[in-house]
Amino acid sequence: MNKDTLKKMGDMRLYGMQTAFKTFVELPPAVDFTNDEMAQYLVQNEWDDRKHRSLQRNIKTAKFRYVADIDGVDFSNNRELDKNQIDRLFTCDFIKKGQDVFITGSTGTGKSYLASAIGRQACLLGFKVYYTNTAKLLSILKMAKADGSHLRELARIEKQDLLILDDFGIQSFDASGRALLMDIVEDRHSKHSTIIASQVPVKNWYDVIGEQTVADAILDRLVHQSVRVELKGESMRKLRKEINAEETEKIN
C-alpha cells in the first residue's frame, strides 16, 4: 500500500510530500501523529519543497554570470567598500522602493560578482530577476524588432522586479540602441529597479549614450534616486591569478 501511495505521489509530482511520507515510513517518529498532524506534516513538506524549487528555478532563469553571495564579497580596506551600504543592498529594500543601483569601477574589481550576488539574494527573497550583458541584450532586441517580437521581449523585461545590465558602456550606443534603452528605462521608471554595472564613470555616461536629448531623458530617469557603489583596488582577476601562481609554485 505504501509503495502504491508513494508512486501516486510521484505521478502527481508531489515530490515534497513523497519524500516526507517515505521518511515517515522508513523512520517513524517516536510519538504517533494524529490525523491532523500527519496532514500538516505532509502539506508543510510539499509547500517547502515547492518553495525551494521555485527559488532555484528563479535563480536559473536569471542567468547570473557568477555563482555569488555576500560571503564572497571582498571588503578589504583598499577597496573602500562601505559594508553598511552593501548590507542594506542585500536586504533588497531598494527593490521595494523602485530605486536603481550603479556599480562602477575599473576592469576586474568585482562589479559583475557584486551585481550577481545582490541579484541572487533578490531571487532568494522571491523577486523576479534578469541578468544580462547590455550589448547582448540590445543586439537581441534589435533582431527581435526585425520580426516584430521585440515588444513581447520588452514586456517581459518590464515585468522583472530587478534588471541587471552588466558591462554598460563598453560599446557606444547607436540610434537603435539608444531608442531601445530609452524604452527599457521608461517602462521601468519608478516601478521596478535596475542595477547597472559599468567600468565607465557615471559622469561619462552622457558621452557613451550619445545624442544629448536622449541621454538627458535616460539619465534623468536613472540618476536622481540611484544608489551608487564605486569599487576600487586592484583587479580581482589579477590577484587571483597571482595567488594561484604562488600556490602552484609552492606545490612544485
Q: How many domains does the chain have?
A: 2
Pairwise CA distance, residues 243 & 252, whole Å: 14
List the domain range (segments joined by +) for residue 57. 2-61
What is the spatial distance between Cα 123 and Cα 162, in angstroms, rounded to a whole number? 9
Q: Are residues 101 and 209 in the same domain?
A: yes
pLDDT at position 239, please? 52
> CATH number, domain at 127?
3.40.50.300
Q: Over the stretch 199-239, which tens digit does the pLDDT of each residue have?
A: 999 999 999 998 889 999 999 998 888 999 999 877 665 55
Mean pLDDT, contiguous 10-residue spans, the chain (252 residues): 85 88 84 86 87 84 89 85 94 95 91 95 94 94 88 92 95 91 92 95 91 91 89 68 44 46
Read off the pTM. Answer: 0.78
How many degrees, rounded to 5, is the angle at CA 60 between CA 68 and CA 89? 40
Our separate counts of H helices and E strands in the chain read 12, 5
> What is the C-alpha separation between 68 and 120, in angstroms, rounded?
7
